[in-house]
Structure 1
Amino acid sequence: MAERVENVTSLPPCKRHITTHDAAGKSVYYGVSPPQQYALVGDGGLARSYSVALVPAKLASDEDLKGYLSADGITSWTQSSIVTPAGANLLVVDLAPGASTHMHRTVSIDFSICTVGEIDHELDSGQVVRLRPGDHIVQRGTMHRWINVSLTEPARFVAVTLSCEPFDVAGEQLKEVHLLH
């Protein structure tokens, strides 16, 4: 398991606000929200901001909250997995100046939005797209990596990952791959 810390760059931590219902059925903010825990990834980190085990999510009796606030388990706030099989994750990824992730692929569709800085999204074909705040990628199970193009400022993107059914890519079944070189 990767080491966990509350900050990996000089960017301020994201504040997480979770809503629920009180006994009278009124919408309220849930009072407990643990600090984000980043799993160290090179010169940056990945924090799971929220997770549900299934889509559609089961919110009755705060089932999702109980799973998220547990000390462990597939949807726990302490986990750093990118994809929850059959579920959904909200992730925050911070990259130190000049940092990049390793080339990887997950069995998922990901919606990633640049929120701070400029980030290159590079595919294994060599194609690159530069993202600025508000720009986003719909990542469809392809091999990719993220690169903070600034050598002086940190960068951040936020991603929602949804597991997908594996499918055939060039004669092979889509599977999770991490190239750690």
Structure 2
Amino acid sequence: MSVGQRQPEPLRRIITTHDSTSGRAIFSDTVGEQVSFTGFPVPPGKPTTSDYALAYNTSTFPVQGLSPVTSTTPESKANLDVKHYQSSLFDPSPLNPPNGTSCTIVEVPWGSGVPMHRTTTLDYGVIIDGTTELVLDSGEKKILKKGDVFVQRGTAHAWRNMTEKKDNSGVLRVFFVFQPIEQVRLEGGKVVDQDLNLSLHEA
């Protein structure tokens, strides 16, 4: 939970699966619908200023093991993605596994932000609630509002919550899908690597 702020309400996440005989879509009850929020670890070891909920993640691409249990698919080979996600909830990370993806919801309380950091991921994002300023380490900035979509390609960035207090109690809520990428290389072969402590370097 972000220090000195409210505890976000758990979000509701629904998972579907297949009926093993008819093939029709049905709802899965393997994992409970409620997903709790926890402090977003940027920078690591410091008081958190925002929260996240791990709505889902996968460990393979393409995703493998979605078949239900049948006479040809034993329990050990069935629903592998759900089993992986279920085990991830014991020690959740907002970022994706090395060869998979992660679906994460981030909430930033009114008056807060997410410090400068860089992840080795390609991020799809949608502003669900509120308004934010996306700040790059070059100094460039853009205001994003509810419904706006962004794509971050392994770049350093910070978030400033610009939401008015009267709007959703000032909470900024962002939907992310994190995906693995190859290393980004610059002139001279310099590698742009993950760094969750960029804000500390700049201080």
- Contact 1:110/1:162, CA 8 A, preserved across alignment: yes
Superposed CA RMSD in Å reads 2.1
- Using the TM superposition, give the Cα deviation of residue 96 of structure 1 relative to its aligned residue in structure 2, in angstroms: 0.3
Identity %: 28
Gaps of 5+ in 2: 41-47, 68-77
Higher helix share goes to which structure? 2
The letter for the 2-side match of 1:19 is T
Equivalent of residue 43 in structure 1, options 36, 46, 49: 49
The CA distance in 1 between the partners of 2:95 and 2:186, in whole Å, is 21
Partner SS state of residue 161, structure 1: strand
> Partner residue of 1:137?
150
Name the CA distance, whole Å, in 2 between partners of 1:46 and 1:170. Answer: 35
Q: Which of 95, 109, 117 lines up with 1:96 in the alignment?
A: 109
Question: Does residue 69 in structure 1 map to residue 83 in structure 2?
Answer: no
Aligned equivalents of 2:92 and 2:7: distance in 1? 22
Q: Where in structure 1 do 4 or more consecutive aligned residues deviate above 2 Å?
A: 8-14, 32-35, 75-78
**Which residue of the other structure, out of 11, 22, 27, is the alignment partner of 1:29?**
27
Q: Contact 1:118–1:131 at 8 Å: present in 2 too?
A: yes
Normalising by structure 1, we get a TM-score of: 0.85
Q: State the alpha-carbon separation in 2 of the partners of residues 161 and 20 from structure 1.
A: 23
Check 1:77–1:156 CA distance in 2 against 1; reply closer, same or farther (3 A cut). farther
Whether the aligned pair in 2 keeps the contact of 1:51 and 1:90 (CA below 8 Å) is yes
Gaps of 5+ in 1: none
Question: What is the CA-CA distance between 1:145 and the residue it aligns to?
Answer: 1.0
Are 1:15 and 2:12 an aligned pair?
yes
Match among 154, 169, 173 for residue 156 of structure 1: 173
Instruction: Find the structure with the greater CA-based Rg.
Output: 2
Task: Give the C-alpha shift of residue 47 in structure 1.
Answer: 1.6
How many residue pairs align between the two structures? Answer: 172
> Could you tell me whether the CA contact under 8 Å between 1:48 and 1:77 is conserved in 2?
no
Q: Which structure features the higher share of strand residues?
A: 1
Contact 2:9 2:37 in 1 (8 A): no
TM-score, length basis structure 2? 0.77
Contact preservation (8 Å) 2:101, 2:179: yes
